[in-house]
């Protein structure tokens, strides 16, 4: 399903993103990040005048030939190379996992001491390459111990 056809009405998609799906969550994180680093941040694309103008633009300029934000991309052609302007791959920021969550022998030990994880996986972990999986398993193990959790048979 193409982006143009994934929503019956682009306006409804935008309204849902602004009021319910994306914007409230993104604003929450922006607020936490800026306050956490004592930074006064500005979000120029959220100026209410710009939002109103963008919502009123004809749909054929919002999405065209499979390109979202078409009118913005078209205007950026003057200032940025096409490699950036017409990049469909979203690029996020990786968290400094190794700094925040350094490897430790205690982590696999804690995971291996979990009766819940052992019951589910039936294996011992020495090293977990997937840091997200390691984090989730560790949290299960800590939660189990902290709250004396058990699997029901």
Nearby residues of 77 by Cβ (< 8 Å), 6 or more positions away: 85
Ordered by start, the domain boundaries in the chain are 3-85, 97-147
Could you report the per-residue pLDDT of 71-114, keeping only the tens digit for each? 999 999 999 999 999 998 876 777 788 888 899 999 999 999 99
Give the per-residue pLDDT at 73.
Answer: 93
Q: For the chain, give the number of residues.
A: 153
Burial code (b: 16+ CB inside 10 Å, e: under 16) for 100-137 equals: eeeeeeebbebbbebebbeeeeeeebeebeeeeebeeb
Q: How many percent of the chain have pLDDT more than 70?
A: 93
pLDDT band at 20 (very low <50, low <70, confident <90, very high): confident
């Amino acid at each position: 399903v193409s982006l143009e056809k994934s929503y019956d009405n682009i306006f409804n998609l935008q309204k849902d993103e602004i009021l319910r799906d994306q914007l409230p969550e993104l604003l929450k994180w922006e607020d936490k990040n800026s306050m956490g680093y004592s930074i006064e941040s500005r979000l120029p694309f959220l100026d209410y005048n710009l939002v109103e103008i963008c919502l009123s633009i004809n749909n054929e300029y919002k999405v065209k030939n499979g390109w979202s934000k078409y009118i913005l991309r078209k205007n950026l052609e003057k200032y940025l190379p096409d490699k950036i302007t017409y990049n469909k791959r979203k690029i996020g920021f990786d968290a400094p996992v190794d700094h925040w969550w350094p490897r430790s022998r205690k982590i696999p030990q804690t995971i291996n001491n979990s009766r819940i994880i052992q019951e589910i996986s039936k294996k011992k972990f020495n090293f977990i390459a997937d840091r997200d999986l390691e984090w989730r398993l560790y949290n299960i193990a800590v939660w189990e111990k902290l709250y004396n959790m058990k699997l029901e048979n």
